[in-house]
Chains A and B, each alone.
Chain A
Amino acid sequence: MGLRILRYTIVSISLAALCLNCLGQDPVDPLIEQVLESLPEEEKEQFDLVEFTGLLNDYLAHPLNLNTATAGELGSLLILNELQVQAILEHRELSGPFRNVLELQSVDRLDLPLVRKLLPFVTVSEEQKEPPGLGGQAGLSHEVLLRYSGILNSRKGYRDPPSYAGGPGRVLARYRITGSDLSFNLTLGKDPGESFFSSGQGFDSYSANLFLQDKGYLKKLVAGDYLLQFGQGVALWNGYSSNMGPAVLGVARQEAGIKPFRSSDESYFFRGAAATLEWGTVELTPFFSYKKLDAALEPDGEREWVSTIRRSGLHRTEGEIAGKHRLGETVAGIHLGVRPSRLFTAGATAYTTRFDKPLKRGEAPYQLFDFSGDELNLLAVNYQFGRRNYFLFGEVAHSLGSGSAFVNGILFSPAPFVSLAAAYRNYQKNYHAFYASPIGQQAAAGNERGWYMAADFRILDRWGLSLSADAFTFPWLRYRVNAPSNGYQLFSQLEYRPGKETLFYFRYRKRNHPAYRQTHIRFHTEYRLSRQVRLKNRVEYTSRRQEVRNQGFLAYQDVSWSIPPGRFHLDVRGAFFNTDDYYTRIYAYENDVLYASSFAFYYDKGTKFYLSGRWKVNRMLDCWLRYELLRFFDRDTIGSGDEEIEGSHRSDVRIQLRIKL
């Protein structure tokens, strides 16, 4: 075991030596970072940025054509809110096709900083999207990505006798073929602790899909693993979803329909086939999926029933391996969409989820309205209607045999550069939908009611003020909350952009939850020091009152160094944090190898240092290296149980190679 770690370490260090000059990142990565920073941080469990950063990187490589982009494609960037998307489409209709991307400045409701954010992802051209060909047949491009991540310290679960079946590294291998109207994706993964080839099984998780589009009536076709997003997410939506975050007008969603699945998450996707057929203004999407989920089962006489569905995808210990793929799930349904005009869209979704073993709800009072059984049928209707300066949206869904849920809202712009949003949601306590993800305070849809209001002001191309307030109620009991409860959340952010690459913002957030009250205050600055160096600073404070009052503090300094023209890039961070407990942890965006950037949380007392670099070796090969050192004060061990590490510091390393043909 130790030898294996040593071998991995030696390999990594030699690669590190090789890539020590590893500095390289597209100058546009800071822009992706800015978009990501506008996403809500304290995420629902299965949050995976991969899908979203993958999308943004794709648009960087193949920018969206402003003259042919649909509302869905423009909205998927998450840079524009619905009113702004409508403004672009209206400009196109009234003034004709765009001649130049800079024409965006003359579109209503797009101020200069926003246009700058958008520019790298859009283009203007008369022709169809070009395939990226550097070679390869018929304009197809191939990409192979290999990634290894490991913690250099030894953890308890790996020492003799090991409770984990495999080694501590995390491996990801991905192969992608992309053409102008097709793509193929294969992802193989292994989590730390899972066995790898030694037991003859190879990788722990496999995912593949073939995706075709724009073939006459067949607008999209996917075979393999995919995601679906319809309406406002009340009935069916997996993958990333915008919620009530810093982008305060993001409550109005733009559905994407079928999306090929590309991340390494192991349970929130569909496996089977789906297609979107289009005739004029009508669109039909039938879909089917069958996959095996991990579950803990309990025997009950002759049958077995499900006590928990595990969605972490970890198969390291005996118990986890025993529960692997024990539950079969079938999902099938259809979505119908009509678009009588650019302004009005409506749709209906119907689908069923069936398990081969029944789920049984728990016996505690808070579980009284939970789902039980082996079949769930859902019906939903959604609409959106947009005109010059307002946008109405909504969806109503019903889980047959139990409850209903709906959300309705409006985005409205009463004056130039002022946008307002209001949305009312009501998800009944007995509404069930496993694959829904509508706006709300909770991860799941159900047992929540709330009024959301927001305002966004953009002044003089430099100042921005975003405000939002959400008042929510949970009509039934929840885990450890013994009565119906309510609370509210306030958010405000003031930003100042005096120059193209200079940003200051101040953010204040307050959450008054039934069980606790919490406030966050953040001050953040970014600026370019020279052609090669950019700096970022942040200071954040949080205070939480639950029975006692606890506080948290984080300060970090980032330095980014690029050697133009984009061959080497290095991001360095030094952070100091001091939080009283896990609940006062603070989240922050961290730079990482391509596709792996994430929001990490900082808790307890200590410092963190990381170096993340990229070297663009040549047109075909890129290599990334990341090293992170986390040091705690006043501690002898880090983590607990099988994840426990002796000592007060932890080192993480990550290496990634990408070959493009």
Chain B
Amino acid sequence: MINKLLTCLLLGLCYQFAHAQPVTWIQGARYAGLANASVADSTIGNVSGNPAGIAGIGRPQVLLSYESRFRIEELSTRALAFVFPYQRQVFGWNVNFYGTDSYNEQLVSLNYARRFSERFSAGIRFNYHGLKIPEYTSQTAWSVAAGIQFKLLHNLAAGLQVSNPNQASFDRDLQARLPVFGEIGLLYAFSGKFIAVAAVQKAVGYRPDLKTGLEYRIHRLLAVRGGISTEPFKQYFGLGLSYRQWMMDMAASSHPILGFSPQVSLGYEF
């Protein structure tokens, strides 16, 4: 009984404040420090972002991430991602778990991206969504996402992504919609050490969200990041450590009312 109550409360909460990002999956702590404005960038975090965004990866990589949303354990996400390049193609696989025993969402996706030329790449992703509330319901749904990226100048890149254009969702009586959105963005590298990213995301039923982030590599081993998004207004901070093939990132976003959501990722490049 209490579980049901808690579940309804959580669902209610999620819906109410879901004018936060309408997604429960995460893109890794590096992008979390950049306001998730990843659409024009090309690193492993994009296995849950712009499908074309993994096309630039040269070596197999794995990424393990954990986010504690608003520091509430029941609202945490755990994710594991893996990318594998082969000739001009890159394959990506990722799995996200969100929630606890009484309410959880799973996402498993397969990503395929290809570099068509020096300047242009495209990708597509198939998502399997699962939603489980014990003793109440257990549902699945499929959705698709596609994206492209192109290099405008040697230090300026642009990206475009659409997610779930077919508006797949769970059973109608569940009132749990899978987000449908489009996103467009830019990446500008001022120097080898300092980049700026910006993106606008428009999800159906929400106002357009402008996200911007900056990353500065202080040192070969350390980078700092910061960002802002406008719908709702949130601030992001992050730190990245890299040592040889290892990468560890930490980030937190601050919602004005709900508080901090820390995220941490550990990655390895083979």
Contact = CB atoms under 8 A, between A and B. Distances in A.
Contacts of A422: 226
B214 A420 contact: yes
B7 interface: no
Interface string B197-238: 000000000000000101010000000001010100101000
Nearest to B233: A488
B16 interface: no
B270 interface: no
Contact of B190 (A415, A453, A471): A415
Contacts of B194: 414-415, 418
Interface in A429-444: none
A153 interface: no
B254 interface: yes
Contacts of B257: 486
A455 B233 contact: no
Given A469-B228, A471-B256, A490-B230, A453 B191 contact: no
10 contacts: A414-B190, A418-B190, A420-B214, A420-B226, A451-B235, A455-B214, A469-B235, A471-B233, A486-B256, A487-B256
Contacts of A490: 230, 233
A452 to B, nearest CB: 10
Contacts of A467: 212
B119 interface: no
Contacts of B212: 467
B62 to A, nearest CB: 30
B193 interface: yes
A418 B190 CA distance: 9
A377 interface: no
Nearest to A412: B216
Contacts of B191: 414-415
A473 interface: yes
Interface string B163-196: 0000000000000000000000000001101100
A487 B191 CA distance: 34
A471 B230 contact: no
B67 to A, nearest CB: 21
B226 A414 contact: no
Of A451, A487, A488, A490, the most chain B CB neighbours within 10 A belong to A488
Interface string A467-479: 1010101000000
Contacts of A469: 228, 233, 235
Given A451-B235, A487-B256, 16 more contacts: A414-B214, A414-B216, A415-B190, A415-B194, A418-B194, A422-B226, A467-B212, A469-B233, A471-B233, A471-B235, A471-B256, A486-B257, A488-B233, A488-B256, A490-B230, A490-B233
Interface residues of A, number: 17
A512 B233 contact: yes
Interface of A: 414-415, 418, 420, 422, 451, 453, 455, 467, 469, 471, 473, 486-488, 490, 512
A183 B163 CA distance: 70
A414 B193 CA distance: 8
Contacts of B193: 414-415
B216 A471 contact: no
Interface of B: 190-191, 193-194, 212, 214, 216, 226, 228, 230, 233, 235, 254, 256-257
A583 to B, nearest CB: 22
A486 B234 CA distance: 13
A490 B210 CA distance: 12
Of B226, B228, B254, the most chain A CB neighbours within 10 A belong to B228
Nearest to B226: A453
A584 B191 CA distance: 43
A490 B212 CA distance: 13
A416 to B, nearest CB: 8
A519 to B, nearest CB: 12
Top 6 closest pairs, chain A to chain B, by CB? A415-B190, A414-B194, A488-B233, A414-B216, A415-B194, A415-B191
Contacts of B190: 414-415, 418
Given A415-B193, A415-B194, A418-B194, A473 B256 contact: yes
Contacts of A415: 190-191, 193-194
A422 B191 CA distance: 21
Nearest to A468: B228
A288 to B, nearest CB: 44
Contacts of B256: 471, 473, 486-488
A473 B259 CA distance: 12
A453 B228 contact: yes
A486 B230 CA distance: 15
Nearest to B229: A469
Nearest to B234: A471
B211 to A, nearest CB: 12
Nearest to B191: A415
Contacts of A471: 233, 235, 254, 256
Contacts of B254: 451, 471
A33 to B, nearest CB: 31
Contacts of A414: 190-191, 193-194, 214, 216
A471 B232 CA distance: 12
Nearest to A486: B256
B259 to A, nearest CB: 11
A467 to B, nearest CB: 8
B251 to A, nearest CB: 15
B252 to A, nearest CB: 12
A488 B257 CA distance: 12
Contacts of B235: 451, 453, 469, 471
B146 to A, nearest CB: 31
Contacts of A420: 214, 226
A488 B226 CA distance: 17
A471 B233 CA distance: 8
A415 B190 CA distance: 7
Nearest to A488: B233
A415 B216 CA distance: 9
Contacts of A487: 256
Contacts of A486: 256-257
Nearest to B230: A490
A317 B256 CA distance: 47
A223 to B, nearest CB: 48
Of A414, A422, A451, A512, the most chain B CB neighbours within 10 A belong to A414
A453 B229 CA distance: 12
A463 B230 CA distance: 24
A44 to B, nearest CB: 23
Contacts of B230: 490
A469 B257 CA distance: 17
Nearest to A422: B226
A467 B230 CA distance: 13
A621 to B, nearest CB: 53
Nearest to B190: A415
B215 to A, nearest CB: 9
B243 to A, nearest CB: 22
A486 B193 CA distance: 35
A418 B196 CA distance: 11
Nearest to B228: A469
A455 B190 CA distance: 13
A624 B112 CA distance: 74
A473 B235 CA distance: 14
A182 B258 CA distance: 57
Nearest to B256: A486
Nearest to A451: B235
A165 to B, nearest CB: 50
A286 to B, nearest CB: 42
B97 to A, nearest CB: 31
Contacts of A455: 214
A488 B254 CA distance: 12
Of B212, B233, B235, B254, the most chain A CB neighbours within 10 A belong to B233
A512 B254 CA distance: 16
B177 to A, nearest CB: 26
Nearest to B257: A486
Contacts of A473: 256
A357 B216 CA distance: 55
B90 to A, nearest CB: 30
